[in-house]
Structure 1
Amino acid sequence: MAVSDRPRVLIGFAESLAAIESAWCLRDAGFDVVAFSRAGRRPPLASARSVRVLPVPAPETDVAASVAAIEALVASERPVAVLPLDDAALLLCDRLATTVPLAAPTGAQVLLALDKREQVELAEKAGFAVPRTTLAHAGSSGEPPPGDGPWMVKCALAAVERDGRLSRPAGAVAARPDEVRTIADRLGAPALVQPLLDGVGEGLFGFAAGGDILALSAHRRVRMMNPRGSGSSACRSVDVDPEVVAAVRRFLTGAGWHGIFMIELLRDRAGRPWFIELNGRAWGSMALARRRGLPYPEWAVRAALDPDWRPPPPPDAPHLVCRHLGREMVHLLAVLRGARGADAGRWPSRGATLRDMLRPARDTRWYHARRGESVVLARDTWATVTAQVRRRV
């Protein structure tokens, strides 16, 4: 491969949901892109043109070896910046013994990005509506769950390090107090216990610097990959809620945040937005932002290279729906299979789902769809569907 004279950015992990769109965003901005991936995997990004994907030991096997391998890549590739794309990469890159600029939070901001206990506390101080929250610990009865069930029990840490290995324990819903303790024991880490809220997921995105929040955008979920609850398979851009902006400004100013951010919310049936969490790195729905002219990954790198840099005013872009082909197929398969047990009363109907998903719409765009890169879309779709089928089997 010919040596590029473009400034190089190292990104990772290449298998994260944000990887493909972030890599293309940086390429379009004039950067050479190298991505690190867990050894033994070949993510769809590896099929992208002009993007090199290099292996490092998986942090789920050896955190220290993963950090050392990323440091070696920094030394050999000499990037102008490193852009972590997921929580594992955020934790690892904060430990790099190198002076390369990180296009991500550092120091106390990393702790905030990875610890939901700190996020909940700061969100309450900032004036967000926050679900009543108690803590549960493995091997301990902990505090009583708040109010009546059911409750969402989720790990308080975005990445758990134990015996030199990283894990990301998945939360679950508890119907009884004894189930809260069972789930907390399975997580093996501090857990947040909150009443299960019914509503629609939203996100507020932007760039924070010096107490200002700039280049704001927002979206709302249209469908989830799993109708029971999961990441979105389709999302729609919406107008930014000014009341939410005020709380976000207080939250980020209190944190001393600098760079891109995502605040995840859940809007209940009464229209009240509830704070869920902060994502301090690139997020999965980056495709929607980019289609609307908001290249957040590029801006994260620009800000890392120049602390005084500020993004230009966002374009007056029309609202769009962005769909992930593989996740939409998983959603459709789940609906066609039908509901079981407690899900029966709120499961989407087959007819309505088919009409919604097959109806053509001018305002629709697709994740990872790019001229000349059809192999990337095909591989990503196949990997998404087969991973979910294997999990169910």
Structure 2
Amino acid sequence: MAMTVLVGFAESLAAIESVWSLRDAGFRVVAFTREGRRPAVAAAKGVRVVEVPSPERDLTASLAALRALVAEEKAVAAMPFDDAALLLTDRLADIVKVAGPTGANAALALDKSEQLELAAKAGFAVPDTAIIRPGEKAELPGAGPWMVKCAEAEVERDGKLTRPSGGIARTSSEAHEIAAEIGAPALVQRLVDGVGEGIFGYAAGGQVFALSAHRRVRMMNPRGSGSSACRSIDVDPQLAAAVAHFCELAGWNGIFMIELLVDDAGNAWFMELNGRTWGSMALARARGLAYPEWALRGTLDPEFRPPATPPAPHLLSRHLGREIVHLLAVMRGARGADAGRWPSRGATLAAMLRPAGRTRWYNARRGESAVLARDTWQTVAGQLRRR
């Protein structure tokens, strides 16, 4: 009988590809979703999706439902797909094995200020940063503009989880106003313009394995958002050394993603650590890098190490729904301050219709077209409702 793994949240960007990775490895997958959601992964074959109270409404009720689900399903492990689930699964570690960070590693994964401090020690370039705590003032690094964002990936307040949004500040008073709205420790960093890159891998026993990397090609929103297309790239040896040192200092075990921003001069700036599965999992899986499966196997067997097989050749990975949203934004045209750096309509159409090299679509699988169709519709409709 297949072992059951509890995963979530099912509506996370990483969910579909991660669920397929686990299912293909022979595990029975039960995915938890926030009440009232109808995630696309529910259309995947052989996957049970269960609603639980949203932690953004009642954290205690959400945790209680997950504890009951672990017992009901006799789950051998729980795996987080996003930061809210990471916080919850850390609190399940007394009743089930967690295929993700727990204890000090969970605290690190949820605290960006701690990540920045460790990254500097590990040899990464880190933007000059000030921390503004609620009710306090701080001297800001250099001259603006600055990016102001919450230092905590998830904020627990009044028995609920929240993810305060930040913004760009051009004056000190504006930075303090944004920080005050966050209502939790806020990071104020010198704004860095550049292209997003990520380094991924698996850490165990003080070593890192199966490192890979990607670079953003397009963003869903041209003025800044998650990627709609990304391309795999070689891992820079210097960055690989910093990654290994970072994981060693953290005592990290399991999968990870380190997010970077590469400026025009080629400097790679550390942005944050993601301690769970990530959105571009389709790209990794297309190259034979089964990170979700490895995370689970390493949890069940501490001696497990990923195979040393070289990954498949580089390729481009595209999310159909996000690509449509990107195209709609470009065709609508720039507004205000965006006018000088808005993508060209013609160049965008050419790049999207004639992509160079091998291409893999997110969440696309033969025999399960309903998953891609639902994911695409939900992505586009969700963005249009926000406008």
The equivalent residue for 1:95 is: 91
Q: Say whether 1:287 aligns with 2:282.
A: yes
Match of 1:33 among 29, 51, 70: 29
**1:262-294 superposed Cα distances (whole Å, 9 cap, x missing partner):** 010011111111100000000010010000000
In 1, Cα distance between equivalents of 2:355 and 2:305 = 38
User: 1:188-220 CA deviation, whole Å, 9 max, x = no partner?
Assistant: 111100011111100000001112110110000
Q: Distance in 1 between matches of 2:238 and 2:140?
A: 29
Q: Which residue of 2 aligns with 1:330?
A: 325
Q: Which residue of 2 aligns with 1:11?
A: 7
Which structure 1 residue ranges, 5 or more long, are not aligned?
Answer: none
Q: Which residue of 1 aligns with 2:44?
A: 48
CA–CA distance in structure 2, aligned partners of residues 121 and 98 of structure 1 = 29
Say which of 346, 353, 357 aligns to 2:348: 353
Q: 2:295 is matched with which residue: 295, 300, 304?
A: 300
1:243-272, Cα deviation, whole Å (9 max, x unpaired): 001111111100000110101001111111
Which whole-Å deviations, capped at 9, do the CAs of 1:100-121 have from their partners, x for residues lacking one?
A: 2100111100000000010011
**Quick check: 2:228–2:318 contact (8 Å CA) kept in 1?**
yes
1:369 has 2:364 as partner:
yes
* Alpha-carbon distance in structure 2 between the residues aligned to 1:102 and 1:220: 29
Aligned residues: 387
How much is the aligned-residue C-alpha RMSD, in angstroms?
Answer: 1.0
Q: Tell me if the contact between 2:84 and 2:154 (Cα under 8 Å) persists in the aligned partners.
A: yes
Deviations 1:125-168 (A, max 9, x none): 1111000000123343x212211111110110000000000011
The 1:17–1:185 alpha-carbon spacing in structure 2 relative to 1, beyond 3 Å, is same
Task: Determine helix, strand or coil for the equivalent of 2:97.
Answer: coil
* CA pair 353-33 structure 1, distance change in 2 beyond 3 A: same
1:8 Cα deviation from its structure 2 partner = 1.0
| Cα drift, residue 316 of structure 1 | 3.8
User: Which amino acid is the alignment partner of residue 326 of structure 1?
Assistant: G
One-letter amino acid matched to 1:128: F
Cα distance in 1 for partners of 2:377, 2:133 equals 38
Tell me the distance in 2 between the aligned counterparts of 1:246 and 1:316: 19
Please give the alpha-carbon distance, in whole angstroms, between the structure 2 residues aligned to 1:165 and 1:335.
37
Structure-1 separation of matches of 2:60 and 2:122: 36
**DSSP 3-state at the match of 2:66:** helix
User: Contact 2:316/2:357 (CA < 8 Å) preserved in 1?
Assistant: no
- Cα deviations by residue, 1:32-55 (Å, 9 ceiling, x for unpaired): 111000011111111111101001
1:206 to 198, 201, 208: 201
Cα distance change of structure 1 residues 260 and 19 upon mapping to structure 2, 3 Å threshold: same
Indicate if the aligned counterparts of 1:294 and 1:314 stay in contact, CA closer than 8 A: no
What corresponds to 1:275 in structure 2? 270
Q: Distance in 2 between matches of 1:19 and 1:97?
A: 21
Percent sequence identity is: 70
Q: Distance in 1 between matches of 2:93 and 2:237?
A: 41
Aligned mates of 2:106, 2:239 — CA distance in 1: 23
Task: Indicate the residue corresponding to 1:239 in structure 2.
Answer: 234
Partner of 1:146: 141
Write the distance in 1 (CA, Å) between the matches of 2:160 and 2:340. 41
| Worse overlay, 92-101 or 333-342 | 92-101
**Superposition pairs of residues 106-185 of structure 1, within 5 angstroms:** 106-140=102-136, 142-185=137-180
Change in Cα spacing, 1:226 to 1:314, as seen in structure 2 (3 Å) is farther
Distance 2:133 2:351 in 1: 42
Deviation at 1:360, TM superposition (A): 4.8
Secondary structure of the equivalent of 1:263? Answer: strand
Greater Cα shift, 252-261 or 313-322: 313-322
Per-residue CA deviations over 1:297-334 (Å, capped at 9, x if unaligned) read: 00000000011111101334110000000111111111
With over 3 angstroms needed to count, the CA separation of the structure-2 counterparts of 1:321 and 1:300, relative to structure 1, is: same
Counterpart in the other structure of 1:61 = 57
Letter in 2 for 1:317: A
One-letter amino acid of the counterpart of residue 292, structure 2 = P
Structure 1 runs of 4+ aligned residues shifted over 4 Å read: none
2:123 counterpart letter in structure 1 = G
Relative to structure 1, the CA distance from residue 316 to residue 111 in structure 2 (aligned partners, 3 Å threshold; closer, same or farther) is closer
Q: Distance in 1 between matches of 2:311 and 2:31?
A: 32
Query: Is the Cα–Cα contact under 8 Å of residues 93 and 102 in structure 2 kept in the other structure?
Result: no
| Equivalent position of 1:344 in the other structure | 339
User: Counterparts of 2:93 and 2:253 in 1: how far apart (Å)?
Assistant: 21
Task: Note the alpha carbon deviations across 1:79-124, whole angstroms, 9 max, x for none.
Answer: 1111111100010111126432100111100000000010011011
Residue number in structure 1 paired with 2:250: 255
Distance (whole Å) between structure 2 residues aligned to residue 314 and residue 289 of structure 1? 13
Determine if contact 2:118/2:249 at 8 Å carries over to the other structure: yes
For 1:318 and 1:199, locate their aligned partners in 2 and report how far apart those are by CA, in whole Å: 25
Letter in 1 for 2:281: M
Q: Distance in 2 between matches of 1:98 and 1:125?
A: 32
